A and B are shown apart, each in its own frame.
Chain A
Amino acid sequence: MNANLTRTVTASVIAVGFGLSGARAENIDVSTLPSRDTVQLTIYNAEDLTLVRETRHITFRRGMNPLQFSWANTLIDPTSVDIRFISHAAELDVLDTTYPHDKPQMLYWNVRSEIDGEAVVEISYFTSGITWSADYTCVSDRAETGMSFEGFVKITNGSGEDYAGARVRLVVGEINLIDKVADLARRGLISEAEYDGYRRDHKKANAFAKEAARTEYFRAAGRMMSDFNAPKSIVKQGLSEYFIFTIPGEETVRNGWSKRMRLFAGKNVPFEIVYRYRPAEYGDQLVRLFILRNDEKSTLGSSPLPDGVVRLFRDNGRDGLSFLTAYQTKYVPIGQEIELNLGHDPEVVHERVRLRAWRDNFWFQGRRPKLYFSPSKGHRIAPNYSIVGWDDHEQWVERIRNYRGKPIQVEIRREFNGHVIFASNLDPTLYDYRSPEFTATIAAADERDLAYDLSFKQGINMTQNSVTLKR
């Protein structure tokens, strides 16, 4: 075997010295290199995992046929490499698989053939280093009532292997893995128990990939192969807990390169503008949000939106764009809201003002435990009594000044610990047991004080640990 050849050919299958079983110790050898006929990549975004399925034509002769598969300088998980016979499956069998101790990124299959002739084999394996990610570009119209919303997928190949003419599918969803493929690729072979477990995962992913392939992929691929004058319409398909984006036709993703394609394009997507003060979610500031929905009504909703960066621009009315924000969004299922946080708005001023603070409803304890006294009940309170309960009161306003040319909707939510009475005429509701919230509309070019009173029950006055609303 030519050692140099092995180093320069990555992920190659070599048919070695026909008819020689166990001939790997020889120093002089003859081999042929069947090339890939097809290759399919199924790339998962939640894990550094790609299932590669490739087919090759190999000529067998009756008897034992050693096959060498090597993957020097790649990130292939050796435990995942599998071979099956697409044609002549009944006449071909893998008798054993050998991982030579001195050649870590290589294995040999001994194939027993009952035919003399060509057969199609499928080799599948997991590799790490191929990733994909989504990103989104939104451009709001000048009036801020609708936006274009384009989604993109970007595939990056850092696997060490070129994949030319590959059929590519991208999987959205989390798949359970016991080990990281990158670790396995580095570590090499693992224990038998781990190996068995891993093969089960492999089979699961493989079956999942086949199921997807049977359905939409080929139809879409056939439809799009001749359509070369438009961005590819990526086919979206739900499967179990996952979602698959199938890129029609074939793609070449060379090692080290990235490729970005449009996933979908929504036009005139309507959105609402809301201002929110929710320190637990957005920090201690009133933020401006564009809120839209991933549904058909919004010309979106053809697929969930995978995690990705949303870049939001606005038509600035001067034949150009203004950059508003870049925002990492989480996975958005079909039908769910999408929040785009623009942060602080210099045209809306929010001040939180405490107007007054006072205390009352005092309770005291004398020498005898569990006997409490209150001056408001006419009890005499000695100087040496301990204070055991009282109420703290505070009067607040959320002062909002709106310098925008149209009314704005403001939502305020605050979180309190302890036994709190929240009193307001703003029709507050409870978001959770300790977070009152209320909304208000501030007219264009107007100022409004949103007032509320807080009472904090302290000491023995505290009988709850929650907020009670009072109108």
Chain B
Amino acid sequence: MNLRPSISHALILGCAVIAAAPALGGVKLITLPARERVEIQLDNMNATLVEEERVVPLAEGANEVVFKWANTNIDKASIQFRCLTNPGEIKVLSVSYPPGENALIWQVFAPRAGSARVRISYLIGGLDKTFAYRAIATNDEKTLTLWQYLLLHNNSNESFGEAGMWAGFGERLQRPIGLNETKRLLTARFDNVPITKTYTADFARHGYLDAGKQQLRIPMHYLIRNDADNGMGRFPLMPGKARIFQDDGQGTVAFLGEDWAPFTPLDDEVLLYLGVARDIVVKRTIVERKARRRFGPIHEYDIVVKYEIENFKDKPVVLDIAESMIALRQEILGNKSRSVEWVLGDRGTLSEPDEAKSTADRPVFHVKLPARRDNQKAVKIEHTFNVVIRNEW
């Protein structure tokens, strides 16, 4: 028997051949089988499953296998014991839980003496994961390279040594996990991912940059698609902080900004907000509000919203213009609880909404903006959005 005088682990597996009633006190000799293998399953969003294998010596007949833990947050009810050696013959008869202790005792029957490999699995608290992303865009902002990292925070008060890990996607990882360590593990890398840079004028969502001048705040996003055509699409992307850098053309990178990447299913888009585009100036004014009575108190409202747009960048861009129908009705009629019935009027330049991105409450249009002129003056473009809000009273 291998009796080790000191124990560094918070988790202890002891095996004792005890004929009498179970008790953790008293004089006894126990073996302390070391971990042979540890697998940490991180694929569940809310819980971490640890599976460890140990080789325990079993005597013929009834054995007691004691599993103890201290200062770790193990879900006692989740602990499972499975014998990998002769599972048909070596059987767990019952499990006892001593009072006031983080321990349990399996009564295990073995038909003959010998070593048996057992697997013990349990849910553990304090061993958490988060995800983080780092992206470096090319100097021309056409593509980027995206790294996905798994951040493993081991506050479980247990050292797991060399452990295998699986995040639920990608390859299995194997690294030593020490006490109170945080490990950043590369889980995926995506090269040459095309970027679409978007600028969005949406008063309801982003408000004014300068309310007095009715100048809208225009956020700039990197849009990437999580699909195979765009060099991604291997698995849904877990939420996490994304830091975005850009190749500055001089051998180094510049930090552009960071954003929380949401959970992104396959084929969905990730929009990463990088900051406000100050070189694109958009003023939004409601220039017409005509009420027409249809019958009785029922009216329809013919609205024209004007956008005056200037692009001070030295390259052309595409601006997305979105109007929330609920917000627009609130501007002209105040709060109403019913849904907005509307149709596009025929007097606006914004007449073809993007069907894929529009909803019943929010049409989206794309507008091309030319680069500024050689004399550094921007071309002022006007667009109008004509909508008829119907059947209001």
Contacts and interface: CB of A to CB of B under 8 A. Distances in A.
B41 A316 contact: yes
A267 interface: no
Contact of A322 (B43, B295, B391): B43
B297 A387 contact: yes
A381 B297 CA distance: 8
A373 B298 CA distance: 13
A386 B41 contact: no
B299 to A, nearest CB: 10
A259 interface: yes
B145 interface: no
Interface in B141-164: none
B78 interface: yes
B349 interface: no
B265 A256 contact: no
Contact of B49 (A262, A322, A390): A322
B109 A394 contact: no
Given A324-B44, A362-B298, A259 B111 contact: no
Contact of B93 (A232, A323, A387): A232
A357 B341 contact: yes
Contacts of B41: 316, 320-323
Contact of A259 (B77, B95, B338, B361): B95
B95 A401 contact: no
Interface stretch (A18-26, A79-87, A223-231): A223-231
Contacts of A204: none
A394 B359 CA distance: 12
Contacts of B393: 387
Nearest to A385: B296
A431 to B, nearest CB: 25
A256 B339 contact: no
Nearest to A347: B236
Given A320-B39, A320-B51, A383-B296, A231 B263 contact: no
Contacts of B111: 229
A354 B298 contact: no
B94 A260 contact: yes
A415 B130 CA distance: 37
A75 to B, nearest CB: 15
B109 to A, nearest CB: 5
Interface string A301-324: 000000001010100101011111
Interface residues of A, number: 58
B80 interface: yes
A375 B275 CA distance: 52
B5 interface: no
B109 A229 contact: yes
Contacts, number: 145
Contact of A356 (B49, B123, B265, B360): B360
A299 B359 CA distance: 50
A258 interface: yes
A346 B341 contact: no
Interface string A251-284: 0101111111110000000000000000000000
Contact of A255 (B99, B298, B338): B99
B109 A228 contact: yes
A33 interface: no
A258 B91 contact: no
Given A316-B41, A387-B298, A387-B393, A258 B359 contact: no
Interface string A209-238: 000000000000000000011111000000
A278 B92 CA distance: 40
B293 interface: yes
A322 B168 contact: yes
A364 interface: yes
A468 interface: no
Contact of B51 (A261, A321, A362, A390): A321
A258 B265 contact: no
Most chain B CB within a 10 A radius of its CB, from A354, A355, A362: A362
A281 to B, nearest CB: 20
A231 B359 CA distance: 60
Interface of B: 21, 39, 41, 43-44, 47, 49, 51, 62, 77-78, 80, 91-100, 109, 111, 121, 123, 166, 168, 172, 236, 263, 265-268, 293-298, 338-341, 359-361, 390-391, 393
26 contacts: A156-B97, A229-B109, A252-B21, A254-B21, A254-B99, A255-B99, A257-B97, A311-B77, A318-B39, A318-B172, A320-B166, A321-B41, A322-B41, A322-B49, A346-B263, A349-B268, A354-B339, A354-B359, A358-B391, A359-B338, A359-B391, A362-B295, A364-B295, A381-B298, A383-B293, A384-B297
Given A357-B360, A383-B293, 14 more contacts: A135-B77, A228-B109, A254-B21, A262-B92, A318-B39, A323-B41, A323-B49, A326-B78, A349-B266, A354-B339, A381-B296, A384-B297, A385-B297, A403-B265
Q: Which 10 residue pairs of A and B lie closest in terms of their CB atoms, listed nearest first?
A: A256-B99, A381-B296, A258-B97, A357-B339, A381-B295, A323-B49, A260-B95, A385-B296, A349-B265, A375-B295
